[in-house]
């Protein structure tokens, strides 16, 4: 079996033409489950062929999928078998697709795209040869509430009008130059893509809801995405965040107070979570704890050790070198 795509930090292409005809669809099912999330796949008629290319840009994955007729389904059983929680954005390049989720159908023709959520059932049906780009973003990066997610899934967005006309060409250019993004600039590029998607989703939420509170929520989504993208900046704070969104620091604090937390608490929680993951990452075992802390904006090693122990019940070094689970976790209490 080839290395799973989720473990490869470079562009990679897999083709069914590389295996025997009788094994192609089983191989394809394995490929798409490894690349994305566990799925049920059902072949169409005739001989099957497929090709998948993928590249990792920081926490974001961009894939190009080319195949002939088949259907994939995310079912309650496949959801239960995996804790990989993502939003996926499917952009149709060639052919036709029907995305179904949350009681809606999004018929996608070339240039159209839609958002779907891997934590709930969905299906993608392709009735002929097609090419689709799939952008996979951790759900935590967009920080949407469940009720907001349910309003935007399987909603067709035209790639020919509005901000959709900016997103479609950008993703197409990325997909045509996979090998050019295997560099330290990849994570920064991913942050820019996520910011653009947050703007798109925020606008969609505002358009689709008569609720006067939707504008505030859309702004909060943009702000939390900005925070996530700038955690490594040790100077990240209320003044910087407010200025970037053309609001006063007083209004910024009010937004977070209405959510039952503070700006500083959110920044600390997200930084600690990234540090926790890096400390348990086998590929970063030789990286100094201080370097991991600095990567996520903790410039004072002693301060980092104190807040980490408070959150997870162990020092960073203890947490890194033990397999025992620890009590505790980050709490978004007000400062």
CATH code of the domain containing 307: 1.10.10
Residues of the chain with pLDDT under 70: 1-11, 143, 163, 175, 177-192, 199, 202-215, 323-335
Residue 231 in tokens: 């955690």
In whole angstroms, what is the distance from residue 10 CA to residue 5 CA?
A: 9
Query: Are residue 169 and residue 46 in the same domain, yes or no?
Result: yes
Do 104 and 157 form a contact (C-beta atoms < 8 A)? no
Instruction: Output the CA torsion sign for 268, 271, 274, 278.
Output: negative
- The structure's pTM equals 0.64
CATH of residue 185's domain is: 2.60.120.10
pLDDT value for 151? 81
Do 251 and 242 form a contact (C-beta atoms < 8 A)? yes
Half-sphere exposure of 87 (CA within 13 A, CB side): 23
Do 6 and 136 form a contact (C-beta atoms < 8 A)? no
Query: Are residue 191 and residue 285 in the same domain, yes or no?
Result: no
> What domain range includes position 153?
5-208
Domain-terminating residue out of 164, 193, 208: 208
Query: Are residue 135 and residue 267 in the same domain, yes or no?
Result: no
Digit-coded pLDDT (tens) for 247-265 = 999 999 999 998 888 999 9
């Amino acid at each position: 079996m080839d290395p799973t795509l989720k473990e490869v930090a470079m562009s990679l292409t897999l083709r069914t033409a590389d295996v025997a005809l009788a094994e192609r669809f089983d191989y394809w099912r394995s490929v798409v489950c490894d690349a994305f999330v566990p799925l049920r796949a059902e072949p169409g008629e005739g001989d099957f062929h497929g090709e998948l290319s993928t590249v990792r840009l920081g926490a974001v994955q961009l894939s190009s999928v080319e195949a002939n007729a088949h259907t994939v389904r995310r079912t309650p059983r496949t959801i239960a078998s995996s804790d990989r929680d993502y939003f996926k954005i499917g952009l149709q390049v060639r052919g036709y697709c029907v995305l179904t989720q949350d009681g809606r159908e999004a018929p996608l023709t070339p240039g159209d795209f839609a958002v779907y959520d891997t934590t709930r059932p969905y299906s993608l049906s392709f009735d002929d040869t097609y090419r689709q780009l799939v952008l996979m973003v951790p759900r935590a990066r967009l920080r949407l509430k469940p009720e907001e997610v349910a309003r935007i899934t399987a909603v067709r967005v035209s790639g020919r009008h509005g901000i959709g006309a900016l997103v479609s060409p950008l993703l197409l250019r990325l997909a045509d130059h996979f090998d050019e993004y295997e560099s330290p600039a990849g994570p920064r590029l991913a942050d820019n893509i996520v910011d653009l998607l947050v703007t798109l989703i925020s606008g969609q939420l505002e358009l689709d809801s008569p609720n006067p509170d939707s504008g505030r929520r859309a702004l909060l989504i943009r702000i939390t995405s900005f925070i996530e993208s700038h955690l490594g900046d040790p100077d990240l704070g209320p003044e910087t965040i407010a200025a970037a969104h053309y609001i006063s620091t007083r209004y910024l604090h009010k937004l977070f107070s209405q959510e039952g937390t503070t700006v500083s608490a959110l920044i600390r929680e997200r930084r600690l979570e990234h540090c926790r993951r890096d400390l348990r990452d086998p590929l970063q075992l030789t990286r100094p704890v201080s370097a991991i802390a600095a990567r996520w904006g903790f410039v004072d090693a002693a301060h980092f050790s104190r807040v980490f122990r408070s959150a997870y019940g162990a020092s960073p070094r203890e947490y890194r070198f033990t397999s025992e689970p620890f009590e505790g976790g980050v709490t978004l209490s007000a400062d």
